[in-house]
Amino acid sequence: MIKLVLPNSSMGYPIVDNFGIINCEKADSYNIIHDDIKILKKIQTILLSSLGCLLINSLKTRMKFLSKRIFEILPDVSKLDFEITDENLNKYFEFDEMDIKAIEEQKQTGEGNLTNRQKQDIINFDIEKYVSKDQIKFIKESIDKECPKISKRTKKVTLNNSNNDIPLINLIKTKKKAMTPPKKTNSNNNTKPTKPTKPTKPTKRIAVTYKYDTKTHKKKLSAYSVGGECIFPFKSRKKSDPLLSDCQPNKDGSEWCATKVKPNRVKEKWGYCIPEGMTVDEYSKIHSSEK
């Protein structure tokens, strides 16, 4: 089983797994399965291109994590019959000077950009340099024995703009989702939907555009955040998400909330929450005194 492994939660940085023995169980990472290694190689090259880097950064909406929407807008690589380079992609999509300038600016100042040498190191990655053939054989036999079935979290995704004759890619998101109870139905289909419970009235919270490093106590500004009073309830990413009535925790211990929402309550702007009942000045003075 050949795979394209995207271990980096922010930019992907895809690695081709020729033997199907590499896996990444880190949150917000992906594995792409396909029978044709040429298809995986093309997907890898596009994701590592300047255009791919621009698309990945442009689609980040949740705390700078890689969005699976990138796989929905990638071109159908099975129809690209040319060498995938930045120049050829610009010609293929007929980008004008303004488009190319935007891509180049992202290439120079955007997040997660790699040098050409770093890209080649990823493309040329060979696990046989680190693991012996006997070890690879043992791992494959263990996988076939212990994992005979494809994970239930594997989803088949058609390549963009393709027809039914084009192969499918299997996309596995390794982040585990919370289980939701099944909806109750009866044979007459006359069951009335239950009304959603109203969220409890939240406490007033304030958000700022920075957080403090717990070790250095220095401010870490975020160009994407907007300060102000938290707006509750709000939805994190899409209208089908549950309503949230309090600040949400980050992995580093900080919290965030929506400071602007759309009419459907989906977050449009966000900021870092300061402790409950504290003013911005009080929050700033506490960390200033800790230096």
Q: What pLDDT digit, counting tens, does each position of 60-115 carry? A: 765 567 777 888 888 888 888 999 999 999 999 899 999 999 888 888 887 788 88
Q: With the C-alpha atoms ordered 97, 100, 102, 104, is the resulting torsion angle positive or negative?
A: negative
What span, in angstroms and rounded, lies between the C-alpha atoms of 252 and 165? 46
Average pLDDT (262-288) is 86
Domain boundaries, the chain: 3-173, 206-289
Distance, CA of 40 to CA of 170 (rounded, Å): 11
Taking Cα atoms as reference points, which of 79, 85, 51, 60 lies closest to residue 8? 60
d(CA 149, CA 175): 19
> How many helices (DSSP H) and strands (DSSP E) are in the chain?
8, 12
Average pLDDT, the chain: 78
DSSP classification of residue 187: T
The reported pLDDT for the residue numbered 166 is 36
Q: What is the pLDDT of residue 279?
A: 86
User: Residue 209 pLDDT > 80, yes or no?
Assistant: yes
pLDDT digits (tens, 9 = 90+) for 141-170: 887 787 766 655 555 555 554 443 333 455
* Predicted local distance difference test score (pLDDT) of residue 288: 65
Distances (CA, A) of 149 to 1, 31, 174, 194: 12, 15, 16, 37
| Distance (Å, whole) CA 173 – CA 176 | 8
pLDDT score, position 230:
93
Q: Can you say whether residue 234 is alpha, beta or left, with left for phi > 0 and alpha for psi between -120 and 50 degrees?
A: beta
Evaluate the omega torsion of the peptide bond into residue 199 and state whether it is cis, within 30 degrees of 0: no
pLDDT of residue 78: 84
**Number of neighbours of residue 130 by Cβ within 10 angstroms:** 8
pLDDT at 266 over 70: yes
Q: How confident is the model at residue 269 (pLDDT cuts 50, 70, 90)?
A: very high
pLDDT at 4 over 80: yes
pLDDT for res 120 = 92
